[in-house]
Amino acid sequence: MTDPVTRFQRLQQRYRDGDIPWDHELPPPEVIAVAAELPPGRMIDLGCGTARACVYLAARGWQADGVDFVPEAIDLAEERVRRAGVAHRVRLFTASVTDLHFLSEAYDLVLDVGCMHGMSREELHAYASEVIRLTRPGGLYLLFAHLNDGTSSEMSRWIAKGEVERLFLPAFSVERVEHGITHVCDTTWPSAWYWLRRRSC
């Protein structure tokens, strides 16, 4: 895993260069399905990038917050929100997802599509504390992460299998996990979607 400064610089340069292959018009099908299943409420996208999920859910009645530590990502997100006409339902913050002290009200849906899997162990624990704090009892935490299954040293920057459960249980219960393979350009990684439900106590 890269240190936070190096990771920030690498991602910032990619946004500046327009080298963001993960940016699409619509959020992933898993997010679209959740939006269809749940009544509108409050949601937050951690590592929101250009706010595709925020825009999609806001257009369907949600109050949506997005957080990303790359200013260039938030600049693009703000423009996307304006174009979509949902600025009254979306708030965007330039901040680290490991320190969200400025947020206090709990969310019905906490979303992370590919943010936490590149963090250091120290960052992961701070991040998990914020997710636990900000997910209302009964709320859903929907996570997509690349996994390190131990088969390649190149995957050392991703999160180890079983780490999600270690970080979030027993505060959450695991409703569902779907393992798969992610293809980005000519590279593939093992990955998984997690549906975690915040326990009441």
Q: Is residue 152 predicted with pLDDT exceeding 60?
A: no
User: pLDDT band at residue 19, thresholds of 50, 70 and 90?
Assistant: low
Q: CB-side exposure of 196: number of CA atoms within 13 Å? A: 25
Q: Which two tokens stand for residue 142?
A: 């929907």
15/44: higher pLDDT = 44
Residues of the chain above pLDDT 90, percent: 66
pLDDT tens digits, 93-103? 999 999 999 99
Backbone angles phi, psi at 159, to 5 degrees: -85, 140
Q: Of the spans 5-14, 65-74, 140-149, 167-176, which averages the highest pLDDT? A: 167-176
In order of their start, the domains of the chain are 4-19+28-198 (3.40.50.150)
Q: Which two tokens stand for residue 22?
A: 């993960």
| Amino acid, single-letter form, for residue 181 | I
Q: What is the mean pLDDT of the chain?
A: 89
21/102: higher pLDDT = 102
Taking Cα atoms as reference points, which of 71, 128, 74, 122 lies closest to residue 97? Answer: 128
Per-residue model confidence (pLDDT) at position 155: 46
Taking Cα atoms as reference points, which of 144, 65, 70, 146 lies closest to residue 109? Answer: 65
Do 16 and 74 contact (CB within 8 A), yes or no?
no
159/129: higher pLDDT = 129
Mean pLDDT, to the nearest integer, of 115-136? 93
